[in-house]
Amino acid sequence: MDDGKGGRFLLATLFASFCVALAVTVRRRFSRFEVSGASMSPTYNPGDWLIVDLRAFRGRLPRPGEVVILRDPRAPKRQIMKRVSAVTLHGELDVRGDNRAESTDTRTFGPVERSLLVGKVLWRFHKANQPPLRPSGEGEGVGG
| CA atoms within a 13 Å half-sphere pointing along the CA-CB vector of 144 | 27
Q: Which candidate in 5, 17, 36, 39 is catalytic?
A: 39
Q: Which candidate in 41, 82, 103, 136 is catalytic?
A: 82
Active site residue 85: no
DSSP string, the chain: ---SHHHHHHHHHHHHHHHHHHHHHHHHHEEEEE--SSTTTTTS-TT-EEEEETTTTSSSPPPTT-EEEEEETTEEEEEEEEEEEEE-TTS-EEEE-SSTTT--SHHHH--B-GGGEEEEEEEEE--TTS-S-EEGGGT-----
Active site residue 39: yes
Catalytic residue positions, numbered: 39, 82
